Amino acid sequence: MTTINDVLIRMDQIVSECHQTQSRMGYFAILYRQVTRRIRDGILAGEFLDNPRMELLDVLFAQRFILAYDLWKSGQTPTQSWKIAFEASENPKYLVLQHLFLGINAHINLDLGIAASETMNGKNLLDIKADFDKINEILAELIDGVKANISLISPIFGWLIPLAKGKDEMLLNFSIQLARDGAWKYAGEYHTDPDKEFQIQGRDKNISALANKLINPGKLLGFLIKIVAFAEWKSVSKTMEQLDQMAMK
C-alpha cells in the first residue's frame, strides 16, 4: 500500500470479512475506516500542514493495524496489545465500546507513535505535531458521535452517558486524550532510540497491561458492564451496520 486509497480498499475488504464472519473486530474496523475517509477528505481539501506527508503518515499508521489483522487471521501472533483486542473480539461478553477502545488502545497508544516517527525518519519529529494531533481530534470526534447515538445499540449505556456528565470514558477506564498525550511522548522516545525493537517491546508490554484493565475493570465496573451488555444488540452484523451509520454522521 502506497496511497490512502489503497488503505481504503483494504479497509473495505476487512469490514466485509468481519461482516460475513460476524467478527466483533469489525466494530473498530468500521470506525477506523471512517477515520481514514475523513483524513483522505481533509488531504483533498488541504486541511493539514503538509498534506503529502499526512498521506504517508496515514499509510504507515494503517499498515500497522492491517499487518496485525493479517497476522491474527493467518494464525500468527501480532503485538500483545493487538492480540488482546483480537482475542476479546471472539467473546460476546464485552461491550461494543470496549471493543472500540481496545482497538484504539493498541492503535493510538502503540502504533501511532511508531508511524509518526517513521514518517519523520531523519527529520525533526516536532514538525509533525500539529498533524499528529489532528488525527487524534478526528478520532475523538467520531467516538463522540458514536457515544451520542450509542443508545440505539446499547440502551443502558446510552442512559448512563448523560449521567456521567462528560466523564463517560471513566466508566471504561480509558481516555482518548490521555492516549493521545502518551502516544506523542512515546513517539519522541521511539524516535531518538536506535534500538527500535526494544522500544516496541517495552511499550507493547505497558499498553497490553492497559488493555487487560479495559477488559478486567474490577468487580464494581465488571458488574455494571454485565448489566449494560445484557441489553446490547447481539447481532454483530447489524451492530456494524448501525455503527457505520453513526460514524458517517
What torsion, rounded to 10 degrees, do the Cα atoms 188, 189, 192, 196 define?
-120
Say if residues 200 and 67 touch (Cβ distance below 8 Å): no
pLDDT digits (tens, 9 = 90+) for 170-186: 455 567 788 889 999 99
C-alpha grid cell, residue 32: 477506523
pLDDT digits (tens, 9 = 90+) for 221-249: 677 778 777 788 888 999 999 999 888 77
Tell me the pTM.
Answer: 0.91
- CA pair distance 110, 13, nearest whole angstrom: 24
Per-residue b/e over 92-115, b at no fewer than 16 CB within 10 Å? eebbbbbbbbbbbbbbbbbbbbbb
Least confident of 2-6, 133-137, 164-168, 230-234: 164-168
Task: For residue 35, give the nearest of 119, 104, 90 by alpha carbon.
Answer: 104
Q: What is the pLDDT of residue 63?
A: 98
- Phi and psi of 178, rounded to 5°? -65, -35
- CA pair distance 152, 235, nearest whole angstrom: 13
- Phi and psi of 216, rounded to 5°? -130, 70
